[in-house]
Amino acid sequence: MSRLELVRQGFTTIEADTAFKERALSYLSNWLTHDDFLAYRPQIEWLIDSAKWSVLLDSFYQVLPFGTGGRRGAVGIGPNRMNLWTLTASVQGHCAFLRERFPNAKSPLQVVLAYDVRQFEDKRGVYNKDLPNPILHLSSKDFVHAATCVYAANGVESHILPADSKRFLSTPELSFAIRHLNAHGGLNVTASHNPPDDNGGKFYDERGGQSVPPDDQIMSDLVDKVTVIHSLPWADAVRTGKIHWLTDETHQGYIDLCRKQSMIPPPKFDEFRIVFTPLHGVGGMGAMEVLEAQGFRPIPVEEQMQPDGQFPNVTQSPNPEVPVSLDRAEKVAKSVQANLLLATDPDADRIGAMASYELNGGGEYRYITGNEIGALLTHYKLSQLTAQRRLPKSPIVVKTEVTSTLTGRIARHFNAQLADGLLVGFKYIAEVLWQLESTGQFEDVRGTPADFIIGVEESHGILLTDAMRDKDAAAAALLLAEMALDQKRHGRTVPQYLESLWKQFGYFRNDGVNIIMPGIEGKVHMTKMLDALRTNPPTEISGLSVVKFEDLRDENGRMGPLKGGTDAASRNFLIFRLADFVHDGHTLSARVVLRPSGTEPKAKAYIEVGSAPYTSSMSAEKWKSVCEAVDAKCKQLGQEFVKLAMSTVGL
């Protein structure tokens, strides 16, 4: 029996769509016979001989799809894994997309390329360590060099760091560089905060953001049509003169832009103490430099400063969205009695923070969630601009649907226009800026990019200037530091500032609950779960009536007709708005949102419960009771909704 027949027989033991199995067999046949994949063959044959049917089916049943941030997933062998074929096929499609998008370009097509610190070491133990493995030790830098060779072969010029450079480009610096160099697009090889063995390629447009529908669908279709990948050897690509080395001038321009977001005079010599960690990523070459240049003296978490894609000294995940990832930084903060600690994720677009409960630092620290960072910075920047009489006549705040309602209430308090209800992914915030730039309006919001105040998403993403079009941890770190310093100067801690916002605008609790569903079986379950809730939505959740159900895929709904497959994927989004309820005479509101992640094998439920503002007639005890009721109901909603969702697929 041939190996392919063995696989066919093995696939009968897996519950999955027959079409998936047939597609996997087709791709497997190609990878086992085509010379382009010869180097992968020993590992594929070993997987077959070892009866790794689930791994094979999940690795070969599709080409790794585009998600909210591009193409991202586990590095591995097969079209549904990140490898040199997956990336270079995407780059070949990107070249076709650029030629189609700029048919009359007066100068050569140009892209800017960046990469993070990752290197594949098969931490999951998927492959045979005793056989040749072309993906072992494959780094993000290797991916970018391979991409550059494809761009050069297609006549597209690349701007990248020198081959011997020890520096890295953060995601926001890439966005800046594309605009600064008037490039036609860009590519970032990064998996952000994903596990060490993941990687990805995020493609950028000429505006420094990622394409939204229908443009991303056009590119996806062009990638699907790729049958031949044109590439040059690295040395030949360099000799073409189509590779340009990025200089310090571009980097300094990014640092200067971030510094321009400053709101207040810098700290005195020892007025304020900050601890900083890049969590083994590239944030030391952005956020930390900005803080230092602006007069802060960040104290590094030494064991986490070295760029290292294995993230050896990070607990659980190199992601500031995960509180435990900041445990070592918190230890350092306590030892030096810091007022604030800041962290950036591996590609330095997300910001994390903890703040001392004590005015002079030290003691216990409070973790600040992404929603809280967004609310604090929105209020702080608007209040500072108001006090300094620099607030635009038509200030604009932008946020995603799943970002806390608290940020929206703050924006409206300052009479700011609110671009709200956006899909998840910072590219949709960038799209608002483009619509303002090109048409002067976005839905009912009118103005120009000069009116832009802040863009916020719950997953620790902040943008403070229209001169970039992706979230930026460096400028966010500076504003967080200044906000905390300013509060100290007024005799208040960051937790006290946050408490004052709750009292003024209402107490909100936002929890995210992940429903992990890995592999092809997980994909089947996830699809069934979303479809079941879509066709038969619950009438109540945790004892609260569902007063409005919204399926963003509904073409008769507020988002109109679908613009293609990528749009359908992004709009796979269910919103359950629940009836208000009363606790101790105080009205509370709640909502639940469910969507599958575009970059990880999970569905995400976003739970929000909020209260009306504090009133002068309320006692401290009653306010505390209201806040505790919000917390309790949010936790209960999360638990009961996940049970309800999973029960739709018998889990």
Q: Hey, what are 39's tokens?
A: 């180097």
Rounded to whole angstroms, the Cα distance separating 194 from 199 reads 8
Q: What's the pLDDT tens digit per position in 534-553?
A: 999 999 999 999 999 999 99
- pLDDT at residue number 599: 65
Task: State how far the Cα of 282 lies from the Cα of 284, in Å rounded to an integer.
Answer: 5
* Domain identity same for 466 and 523: no
In a domain, 356, yes or no: no
User: Region 156-182: what's the mean pLDDT?
Assistant: 96
For the segment 126-134, the average pLDDT, to the nearest whole number, is 96
Quick one: pLDDT at residue 315? 96
- Whether 376 shows a pLDDT value over 60: the answer reads yes
Same domain flag for 449 and 522: no
100 within some domain: yes
Indicate the number of domains in the chain.
Answer: 3
Instruction: Choose between 107 and 337: higher pLDDT.
Output: 337
Binned at pLDDT 50, 70 and 90, residue 68 comes out as low
Among residues 503, 519, 544, the one where a domain terminates is: 503
Q: What is the pTM assigned to this prediction?
A: 0.94
Q: Is the pLDDT of residue 479 over 90?
A: yes
Long-range contacts of 185-188 (CB under 8 A, 24+ apart): 185/94, 185/98, 185/111, 185/112, 186/111, 186/112, 186/113, 186/114, 187/91, 187/94, 187/111, 187/112, 187/113, 187/114, 187/144, 187/147, 188/70, 188/113, 188/114, 188/115, 188/116, 188/347
**Are the C-beta atoms of 44 and 52 separated by less than 8 Å?**
no
Q: Among 461, 517, 593, which residue's Cα sits nearest to residue 193?
A: 461
Phi then psi dihedrals of residue 487, to 5 deg: -65, -40
Q: Are 385 and 442 in contact (CB under 8 A)?
A: no
Site of tokens 């799209």: 431
| DSSP classification of residue 130 | T
Q: Which two tokens stand for residue 21?
A: 């199995």
State the average pLDDT over residues 267-285: 96
Q: Quick check: 11 and 28 in contact, CB under 8 A? A: no
Q: At what angle do helices 53-60 and 3-11 cross, to 10 degrees?
A: 100
Tokens at residue 351, please?
Answer: 């910001």
Residues 461 and 432 in one domain: yes
Percent of the chain with pLDDT strictly greater than 90: 87
Are 347 and 281 spatial neighbours (Cβ–Cβ below 8 Å)? yes
- Rounded to an integer, the average pLDDT of 349-363 is 97
Give the pLDDT band (50/70/90) at residue 67.
low
Tokens, residue 469: 């079009």
Q: How many angstroms separate the CA atoms of 427 and 435, rounded? A: 12
> What are phi and psi for residue 485, nearest 5 degrees?
-65, -45
Contact 293, 259 (CB under 8 A): yes
- Give residue for tokens 């995400």: 604
Q: Examine residue 283 and state whether it is found in any structural domain, yes or no.
A: no
**Tokens at residue 515, please?**
């429903």
Calculate the average pLDDT of the chain: 95
**pLDDT over 90 at 493, yes or no:** yes
Return the SS3 of 575.
strand
511 plus 620 within the same structural domain: yes
Q: Does the residue 603 lie in any domain?
A: yes
| Burial call 509-543: b when 16+ CB within 10 Å, e when fewer | bbbbbebebebbebbbbbeebbeebeeeebeebbe
pLDDT at 601: 76
d(CA 588, CA 630): 7
Q: Within this chain, do residues 93 and 197 fall inside the same structural domain, yes or no?
A: yes
Q: How far apart are CA 473 and CA 468, in angstroms?
A: 12
Query: Which domain CATH number covers 221?
Result: 3.40.120.10
CA distances from 192 to 73, 77, 184, 201, 577 (A): 11, 21, 23, 10, 32
Q: Is there a single domain that holds both residue 217 and residue 142?
A: yes
Residue 221 has a pLDDT of 87
Task: Please report the beta strands in 143-227, taking only residues with DSSP state E, as ranges in sequence order.
Answer: 157-160, 185-189, 198-204
User: What angle separates helix 248-259 from helix 473-489, to the nearest 10 degrees?
Assistant: 30
User: In CATH, what number is assigned to the domain containing residue 579?
Assistant: 3.30.530
Average pLDDT over residues 309-322: 95
The structure tokens listed for 574 are 């269910």
Task: Among 453, 481, 503, identify where a domain stops.
Answer: 503
Beta-sheet pairing, 574-583 with 544-551: antiparallel
The predicted pLDDT at position 268 comes to 93
For the stretch 281-298, pLDDT in tens is 999 999 999 999 999 999
pLDDT in tens, 71-92: 888 999 999 999 999 999 999 9
Q: Do the domain assignments include residue 320?
A: no
Element (H, E) at 385: helix 370-387
* Residue 245 covered by a domain: no
Please give the structure tokens belonging to residue 488. Answer: 């100290």
Q: Are residues 485 and 588 in the same domain?
A: no
Is the separation of the CB atoms in 187 and 113 below 8 Å? yes
Kindly state the tokens that stand for 627: 């806040």
Tokens of 478: 């500076």
Main-chain phi, psi angles of 354, to 5 degrees = -135, 145
The pLDDT assigned to 525 comes to 84
What are the tens digits of pLDDT across the range 561-614?
999 888 998 899 999 999 999 988 889 999 999 998 766 678 999 999 999 999
At 13-50, the pLDDT tens digits run 998 889 999 999 999 999 999 999 999 999 999 999 99
| The predicted structure's pLDDT at residue 16 | 83
Q: Please, which pLDDT band fits residue 173 given cuts at 50, 70 and 90?
A: very high
pLDDT band at residue 244 using 50, 70 and 90 as cut-offs: very high
How many angstroms separate the CA atoms of 24 and 527, rounded? Answer: 19
Q: For the range 55-59, what are the long-range contacts, defined as Cβ-Cβ under 8 Å and sequence gap of 24 or more?
A: 55/126, 56/7, 56/10, 56/24, 56/28, 57/11, 57/14, 57/16, 57/20, 57/21, 57/24, 57/520, 58/519, 58/520, 59/24
| 462 shares its domain with 537 | no
Query: Are 66 and 197 within one domain?
Result: yes
Residue 69 pLDDT level (bands cut at 50, 70, 90):
low
Rounded CA-CA distance 448/429 in Å is: 14
**How does residue 518 score in pLDDT terms, banded at 50, 70 and 90?**
confident
Three-state DSSP state, 151 = helix
CB 362 within 8 A of CB 337: yes
Range in 67-81, 145-159, 414-428, 486-500 with the lowest mean pLDDT: 67-81
Residue 457 confidence (pLDDT): 97
CB under 8 Å to 541, separation ≥6 — which residues? 576, 578, 592, 637, 640, 641, 644
Query: Is position 333 within any domain?
Result: no
Element (H, E) at 111: strand 110-115
- Look at residue 584 in the predicted model and tell me its pLDDT: 83
For range 390-395, the mean pLDDT? 96
Other C-beta atoms lying within 10 Å of the C-beta of residue 601: 17
Determine the residue type at 304: Q
Both 570 and 617 in one domain: the answer is yes
Dist. CA 335–CA 356, nearest whole Å: 12
From 503, 520, 555, give the residue that closes a domain. 503
Helix, coil or strand: residue 91: helix
The verdict on residue 523 lying in a domain is: yes
Q: Give yes or no for residue 66 having a pLDDT over 80.
A: no
- Tell whether 91 and 225 lie within a shared domain: yes
Instruction: Find, among 448, 433, 444, the residue nearest to 398 by Cα.
Output: 433
Work out the average pLDDT over 355-376: 98
Whether 620 and 486 share a structural domain: no
Task: Quote the pLDDT of residue 15.
Answer: 83
User: Using DSSP, how many helices (H) and how many strands (E) does the chain show?
Assistant: 20, 24
Q: Which domain holds residue 467?
A: 371-503
Q: Is the pLDDT of residue 274 over 90?
A: yes
- 649 or 492: whose pLDDT is higher? 492
What pLDDT score does 651 carry?
Answer: 78
